[in-house]
Every structure is written in structure tokens, then in C-alpha cells.
Amino acid sequence: MAIRIIIADDSDFVREGMSIILGVDSEFDVIGCAANGRECVELARRNAADVILMDIQMPVMDGIEATKIITEEDLGKVLILTTFDDYDLVRKAIRNGAKGYLIKNHTPEKLKSMIRSVHAGIHVLDESIFEQMAQTQSPQSDGFDPSAYSSRELEIIQLVADGLSNKEIAGRLFLSEGTVKNYISHILEKSGMEHRTQIAIYYLTGKK
């Protein structure tokens, strides 16, 4: 079954462009477009969507507020698609329930890949945003609970959030790569998460 998509963007050019890109692929079904957040919420209430592509800066209601309503009413999974890479906006979007954040300088295949991941329940972040978060932010004490993890697990969580691969973590902690994989699997299971990117998001923002 095709992934049902709503596109919310105040630019006619962007909406039409993404509709064309996704419309030629039978894997996706664009069921509607909205020019602002309020239109998007109303459209999502009338039509069952799987993934909602959401711009941030829009008139009437912005994408951050629309994401909050859509999440609260369980109207679909939101993938933020914007030109803004400001960390505060990223954090607000994630805290309001966004499952992904993608900067608009993407290729069609990148967009499709991110949509598939969000639809599958995997949190995704644009690489530039992930790097910015890892370099400038510390864990949020109001969300991330360090007491749930052992000291070794906390070390690995922090290194994942710093953007290190399993191989690099193994070298840093003098462990085998297999042992690191086992630790990450245990952390995911303990946290109720499915992907290592979710570990980083949880550590950096306090939001699962």
C-alpha cells in the first residue's frame, strides 16, 4: 500500500514540486496540500495520512504549532522539511512530536528515503542538524534519565550522540565492535527505541 502524504508549505512552487517528485513514484500517494499550518491540520483531520511534510514558517499557523496538534490528535507522523537549521527550532519541533527534520537542499531520493524511515517509525535528522546538535548541546535534564543506564552505557550513549560510529566507539573505549553493538542493542531495548539516531535525539533533547 502506498504511503499517504500531506504536503504543507506556503510556497506554491515547493508544494507542486514535491507533489510531482512523489507523484511519479507508486510507493507514495499525495492525498493533499496545504498552504499553512491550520489548513494542514484541517486536511489531516479529514484524511488519514501516514506522513505529513511540514514547513516551519507559514502564515496563520506555523509548522511547530501544527505539529503539536497533529501529534496530540494522532493524525500522522510529521517530517519537518524546511530551509531553517536553527537548533531551537529543531528542538521545539521534536518536542512537539516531529519524527524527522530535513533541510530542503535534498535530492528526491533523499526525501523519499526520509519519508520511508519516518513511516517505519524511525526518527531521522538531516546530517547537518545532527552534527550541530552533537557539537553544541548537552543532554536535557528534564527529559533524559541517566539513572536508567549503567556508567558504561552512558559512555556509549554520549559517544553515539557525538556522532561516532560503532568502530570509533570501540576504539575509544578499548572494546570490540561486537561488544559495542551489543551495548547499543541493549540500550535500544531498555529505552524502547529502534534506531541509534533515536538514542542521540533522546540524549540531546530529552525527547524520545
CATH at residue 70 = 3.40.50.2300
> Do 103 and 26 fall into the same domain?
yes
Domain boundary among 97, 132, 167: 132
Domain boundary among 80, 115, 132: 132
In sequence order, which residues have a C-beta less than 8 Å from that of residue 41 and are 6 or more positions away? 61, 66, 69, 70, 75
> Do 106 and 159 fall into the same domain?
no
CA within 13 Å, CB half, 40: 38
Residue 161: the pLDDT is 82
Structural domains of the chain, count: 2
> Do 51 and 145 fall into the same domain?
no
CA within 13 Å, CB half, 164: 19
> Do 16 and 97 fall into the same domain?
yes
End-to-end CA distance of the chain: 27
> Do 172 and 76 fall into the same domain?
no
> Do 8 and 110 fall into the same domain?
yes
Determine the Cα–Cα distance for residues 169 and 156; give it in Å rounded to an integer.
7
Domain with 30, as residue range(s), is: 3-132
Domain boundary among 70, 103, 132: 132
> Do 86 and 105 fall into the same domain?
yes
**What does the pLDDT profile of the chain (208 residues) look like in tens digits?**
899 999 999 999 999 999 999 999 999 999 999 999 999 999 999 999 999 999 998 999 999 999 999 999 999 999 998 876 666 777 788 888 898 888 877 788 889 988 998 998 877 777 666 655 555 555 554 577 887 888 889 889 988 887 788 898 998 888 899 999 999 999 999 888 888 888 888 887 777 6
Residue 20: the pLDDT is 94
> Do 10 and 104 fall into the same domain?
yes
Determine the Cα–Cα distance for residues 208 and 7; give it in Å rounded to an integer.
24
Nearest partner of 164 among 205, 134, 208, judged by Cα: 134
Q: What is the pTM of this model?
A: 0.67
